[in-house]
Amino acid sequence: MAVHPEPHILLPTASHRNTLILLHGTSMTGPVFASHLLPTALLPPTRSRPQSPDVDASASRVTLPERFPHCRFVFPTGAPRKTTVFGAKETNAWFDITDFGDRTSGEAEMLGGLRESSLSLAALVKEEIELLYRDGFRGEEKGRLILLGFSQGAAMGSILLLGGEMERLGASDGLGGFVGLSGWLPFRRQIEAASFVADGDLFAADGDLLAGDGDLLAPRARAMGFVRELLHLDAEREARVDIKASSDVPVFLGHGELDPKVRLEWGQQSRDTLHKLGMHVESKVYRGRAHWWTSEEMGHVAEFLAARWDLQ
């Protein structure tokens, strides 16, 4: 397995109750992502903004660490790898990218990074959930860890959500949600095609791999079976993978209307695919925004986190 730099971690300022793992985008590292994201002020929901013109709305804004003092913020960094879109220059990335204008280009070159990063990040999720155990939440850990990704990090998080490695490690029970900002779903067309096939197809009945029952879970099980075979994750399995824990993980997706790097269309296609797979997906589009996040978007992210962590 490739060597990843140590994660950048911002410790909670109060007792540790929750963890947010944040995956950076292309041309970033964990520390760089943290330096841009953490200072972003959260724009409160419209219903809670000051109504009087004499009240400074900015005075009511806080950052994520201020809003969630009990949260441990973990920023892992992708392993150094050659990135085709940058002339094969070595960058910290979760997987290779060939063309910013066509995310289906160079799919074969993505596979090694997607597999390696899936294994590494699933292990990190397990470690962080075990830390919550040690900090006093054994038996109460469900939903206390949330995964967030921006751009390539959102794409990586989507594959991690579908690929079954967290389930294989017994870590998915602690996952309370997934946030994808300005992202896309790699291999979306193939995943969707494999998930909605007639019974008897290769991916429709992989009983050795997947546990779970009911028609609602069938497409989700097929998607997991496809991703695991695509990334050769079967070699890592130790037991049957139970998809029930991850099938009800809530998802929030945010995307800029004018994003030139990850087109809004790709984000909406990802949303639709996850919804078809039976996942609970909330999505928002931010008018006039390109490939970055906004205070309004981060305010919505904070609402999502608070709802998952019962902190409204």
SS3 89: strand
Strand pairing report for 8-10 and 71-75 = antiparallel
Q: Pinpoint the alpha helices (H) of 101-239.
A: 107-132, 152-163, 165-168, 188-195, 217-230
Q: What is the pLDDT of residue 247?
A: 62
Q: Residue 250 corresponds to which amino acid? A: P
> In this prediction, what percent of the chain has a pLDDT beyond 90?
71
Alpha-carbon span 83 to 66, nearest angstrom? 36
Confidence of residue 196 (pLDDT cuts 50, 70, 90): confident
In a 13 Å sphere around the CA of 111, the CA atoms on its Cβ side amount to 11
DSSP conformation letters of 229-268: HHTTGGGG--S-EE-HHHHT--EEEEEETT-SSS-HHHHH
Domains within the chain, CATH numbers bracketed: 8-47+62-308 (3.40.50.1820)
**Which is more confidently placed, 149 or 203?**
149
DSSP conformation letters of 22-75: EE--TT--HHHHHHHHTTPPBPPPGGGS--STTS-GGGG-B-HHHH-TTEEEEE
Q: Give the number of other Cβ atoms within 10 Å of residue 207's Cβ.
A: 9
Q: Which residues of 216-250 are buried (b: 16+ CB within 10 A; e: fewer)?
A: ebbbbbbbbbbbbebbebeebeeeebbbbbbbebb
Cβ contact 97:46 at 8 Å: no
- Cβ neighbors of 244 (< 8 A, separation 6 or more) are 211, 212, 217
Cβ contact 289:256 at 8 Å: yes
3-class SS letters over 173-202: HHEEEEEEECCCCCCHHHHHHHHCCCCCCC
Q: What is the pLDDT of residue 91?
A: 95
Q: What is the pLDDT of residue 229?
A: 94
Q: What is the pLDDT of residue 231?
A: 96
Confidence of residue 195 (pLDDT cuts 50, 70, 90): very high
Q: Taking residues 250-255, report their average pLDDT.
A: 98
> In this prediction, what percent of the chain has a pLDDT beyond 70?
82
Confidence of residue 216 (pLDDT cuts 50, 70, 90): low
> What are the φ and ψ backbone dihedral angles of 117, each rounded to 5 degrees?
-70, -35
Strand pairing report for 175-181 and 251-256 = parallel
